Amino acid sequence: MIIAGEASGDLHGGNVIRELNKINPDLQVIGTGGSVLEAENAELYYRVEDLAVIGFSEVIKIYKRLKNIFDDLVGKLDTERPDAVLLVDYPAFNLKFAKEAKKRGIKVIFYIAPQVWAWKKKRVEVIKKYVDELIVLFPFEVEFFKKEGMETHCFGHPLLDITKPSLNKDEVFSHWSLDPHKKTISILPGSRKNEILKHLPLLFETVDEINRKQQNIQFVFPLASTVKKDVFQPFMNETKADVHLVENDTYNMVAHSDFALVASGTATLETTILNTPLMIFYKSSLLTYIIGKYLLRIQAIGLPNIISGKLVVPEDPHFSSPKKMSKDVLKYLEDPEAYNKIKNNMADVIKNLGNTGAYQKTAEFIHQLI
Residues 58 and 153 in one domain: yes
User: Does 188 reside within a domain?
Assistant: yes
Domain match, 288 and 247 both: yes
70-79, 113-122, 230-239: which has the minimum mean pLDDT?
Answer: 113-122
Name the helix (H) or strand (E) containing 210: helix 193-213
For the chain, what is the mean pLDDT? 89
Most confident of 115-124, 195-204, 316-325: 195-204
Q: Could you tell me if 253 and 176 are in contact, meaning their C-beta atoms sit under 8 angstroms apart?
A: yes
Return d(Cα 327, Cα 233) in angstroms, integer: 26
Q: What's the pLDDT score for residue 228?
A: 83
Domain region containing 321: 169-351
pLDDT the model gives residue 296: 43
Q: What percent of the chain has pLDDT over 90?
A: 66
Number of domains into which the chain is organized:
2
Residue 335: count other Cβ atoms within 10 Å of its Cβ. 11
Distance between CA atoms of residues 115 and 113, nearest Å: 6
Please check whether residues 55 and 131 belong to one and the same domain.
yes
Average pLDDT rounded to a whole number, residues 323-346: 94
Is 74 a member of any domain?
yes
Q: What is the pLDDT of residue 193?
A: 78
Helix (H, G, I), strand (E, B) or coil at 81: coil
- 149 plus 190 within the same structural domain: no
Residue 151 C-alpha from the chain's centroid? 25
- Phi/psi at 96 (nearest 5 deg)? -70, -35
- pLDDT band (50, 70, 90) for residue 299: low
Residue 164 domain flag: no
Query: Taking residues 223-231, what's their average pLDDT?
Result: 82
Measuring CA to CA, which residue among 127, 125, 64 is closest to residue 91?
A: 127
pLDDT exceeding 70 applies to what percent of the chain? 90
pLDDT of residue 301: 67
Q: Are residues 225 and 184 in the same domain?
A: yes
Selection from 317, 318, 316, 261 nearest residue 284 by Cα: 318
pLDDT at 50: 87
In 3-state terms, what secondary structure has residue 153?
strand
Examine the pLDDT at 73 and tell me if it is beyond 60: yes
Q: Is pLDDT of 319 > 80?
A: no
Tell me the mean pLDDT in the region 340-360: 91
Predicted local distance difference test score (pLDDT) of residue 295: 46
Same domain, 131 and 27: yes
Structure confidence at residue 340 (pLDDT):
95
Global pTM exceeds 0.85: no
Q: Residues 88-120: pLDDT tens digits? A: 999 989 999 999 999 999 999 999 987 765 555
Same domain, 257 and 116: no
Q: How far is CA 339 from CA 314, 330, 366, in A?
A: 11, 10, 42
What one-letter code names the amino acid at 44? Answer: L
Average pLDDT over residues 47-75: 80
pLDDT band per the 50, 70, 90 thresholds, residue 264: confident
Q: Looking at the structure, do residues 210 and 222 belong to the same domain, yes or no?
A: yes
**Residue 291 pLDDT > 50:** no
**Whether pLDDT at 51 is above 90:** no
CA distance 248 to 350: 24
Give strand ranges (E) for the chain. 2-4, 30-33, 43-47, 84-88, 107-111, 133-136, 152-154, 183-188, 217-223, 242-247, 259-263, 278-281, 315-316
- The answer to whether residues 331 and 197 belong to one domain is yes
Q: Is the predicted pLDDT of residue 250 greater than 60, yes or no?
A: yes
- State the amino acid at position 222 in one-letter form: P
Q: Mean pLDDT throughout 336-341?
A: 95
CATH number at residue 151: 3.40.50.2000
What's the pLDDT score for residue 10?
94
**Is the domain of 152 the same as that of 288?**
no
In angstroms, the CA 352 to CA 178 distance is 34
